[in-house]
Structure 1
Amino acid sequence: MSQEMRLISEIRKFLNDYRECVNRITNTLKRLSDAQQMLAREEISRSVYESLRKEYFEQLLPFIERYFRLKSELRKYKDRLQVLITRLRLEGKGGSVSASLVKQMEIYRSSSRYRFLAPKIAEATEGPPVESEVKTQVSYDLTDVEAMLKELVDLEMKIDVIDEVSLLEEYLSYAIKNNINIDKAEWERHLKDVMEKWSERKSSFLNQLENLEAKLSELEDAIRENEIRFAVGEYDHDTYNERRLALERRLNKVKEDIERIQRTIEATDMHILRSMELLGSIRREV
């Protein structure tokens, strides 16, 4: 088996493992979110919610550890796939079909399909008409590999960085509280990765806040203008009230958005700070 075939086989298995892990985490997070909403609507008591939260989180623990380790592998597979894709593109530009591309076809096609293609590949060096047909098949194989890379990228984004930060802090807290041995250096790397992702997201949030605060100022000016125009008799009572209510609705929506983003930033920063403190309390293995 060629290196390329082994790589594709590895990635296929990896995708199945990673997909299963991500699905378990996202499904459990959805249940936790639903339980939190039930608590907010007073459909369940605080004690019931805390009991469910503890139960679900304990179910999550092995998947959190597995997730962060798989994610480190995912980045390596992305790099290796990109190299393979580049090589396929370069080899596909030539006037003949290379042996390595023939092997790539074996990866994606059944044996019967390959037996169908083999004579055409053998004939490819003898005339342009068949060579063109083989190049089309090579292009299709390249598309498959690119689709595999896209799936890796999509899966990498499946769990939001805000959830990642929270999960990491929860895992470290539980591990330390229950005397579970963890590799400090490994989890420092995981924390560094999520901090880099959070830094990008936080910058986006701060830009949103800047725009929202500018909008807030505009709406406050518009409300004052409405008051003045009513006071000087430019607006009648109905016009004034109609504009006031519309402006206040927009103002309240902007305020809610600002508060929501601020809460998210503060909570996520706090998770990161606690994670740093938790890791700092662990002795590094010599």
Structure 2
Amino acid sequence: MATINDSRFQYEVFLLTGIPGQEPIYVWISIPFCIIYAISIVGNSYIVFVIKTNPSLHEPMYIFLSMLAITDLSLSITTMLTTLGIFLFNSREISLDACFAQVFFINSFECIESSVLLLMAFDRLIAICYPLRYTSILTPQRLAKMWLVCVLRGVVLMIPFPVLLKRYRYCQENVLTHSYCVHAEVMKLACADVTINNIYGLYVALFTETLDSLLIFLSYVIILKTVLSITSRSECLQALNTCISHLCAVLVFYVPLIGLSLAHRFGKGTSHLGQIILGYVYLLFPPLMNPIVYSVKSKHLRARLVQIFVR
């Protein structure tokens, strides 16, 4: 798309990009994407359904897991339409308002997922360090308030992103490098000074994912200190075993997120194709892996899954 330097001009649509240079095989590329989305949607829906329909699973740990599954399900749906639209129908156009809305939803669900992972770390901390007070601290009323705070935090902090983006004119070019709208990419196309967006984006990153990851790390330092004080080796291993699923979820979420953030801010010399692939991993991998990891590690979810297949 040719560059237009007239600041009075305003593009009406953005053009999304799938995987550059692979257009002839987009139909074949769509197959693994369809499989990933199907597993993500079915897997997370399965976890929510099983926990909701089994009163024995209405415990804090499983309620937090259902919160994570709802967030992953929402994140998959948010990116699915534009991604599959490109690979299946070569539908690259997206209106500015739709793009700004996608930026809001993607960032909101990311923030909510980070908050839920922090709550799950807090759940493991209480269960291991204060087992006798577990049920009295994590009451159903407090769990509901925690979930509300997570949602409000994601919504309130991310509303300024589409509001600020909508104020700008986009007259230089309109081609985005991903199959979905990313705030950092859209911001670069504005014909204006985007210092406010940069500062606010850095503030949000520090106040959400960075702060949450540090608190999760601190929680596990306390957990590890408590576990090492246990004299029985079997009890020590049993306590650590309850944290494995959550640690996997934390790594699956934060490692691609940190990698993509560093690539956007400091990776001028990195491969463009590598950034695109990392962007897919960052949004597709957590909703795909979390149901698999928790279904394998949780005997209740595993037993329910076996019953469904036997029937």
Q: What's the TM-score once normalised by structure 2's chain length?
A: 0.29
Could you say which structure has the higher helix fraction? 1
Instruction: Point out the structure with max Rg over C-alpha.
Output: 1
Q: What's the TM-score once normalised by structure 1's chain length?
A: 0.31
**Larger relative contact order (Cα-Cα within 8 Å, sequence gap ≥ 6):** 2
